[in-house]
Amino acid sequence: MTAVIEKIECLEKLKTEEEELLLDVDPPTPIKRGKGRPRKPIEEIDPNAEAKPKRVMTEKQKAVLDKARQVRNENFQKRQEERAVIAEEKALKKEEREKEVERKIIKKAVCVKKKQILEEAILNDELDDEIPDHVIQKVIKKQRAKRATPVKQVVVSEPEPIKSKYTFV
């Protein structure tokens, strides 16, 4: 009989220990649902699973796709040609600009050289021997023209009196 009492006491101890453990653990909190549609659970993908077979296109779909590719390639070629033409035009403009600048530089150098020759000739008193007369005449005319340019004067005129429409007697 003592063995039975011991077993009962042991069972009571176990029950009290289980109750204490249950009391220590918080009850699970209910999951709060947000407003709107609940989110779908994320499905894990098995790496060993076979991939879905690719959808086969119909002949009509293939024909439309080929036609679209051809149009795309044609448009690409057109744009490439336009870009090439624009690049050529830019290159031509750049060359023309460089030629124009070079021409202006040469012209300026010639003018400077002429002035230098004139100054040296004036200093050496050999004006008639080295330079032709028509060149000297042109230079002198240009210098006189620069000096003789009239300064624009602003003429302020008085406004005319306004005539009245009506005449009183």
The CA distances from residue 65 to 54, 73, 96, in Å, are 17, 12, 47
pLDDT digits 0-9 by tens, 82-116 = 999 999 999 999 999 999 999 999 999 988 888 88
pLDDT digits 0-9 by tens, 19-42 = 766 555 566 677 776 778 878 888
State the sign of the Cα–Cα–Cα–Cα dihedral 87, 93, 94, 95. Answer: positive
Q: CA angle, corner 31, sides to 28 and 33, nearest 5?
A: 165
CB atoms inside a 10 Å sphere around CB 45: 7
Indicate whether this model's pTM tops 0.85.
no
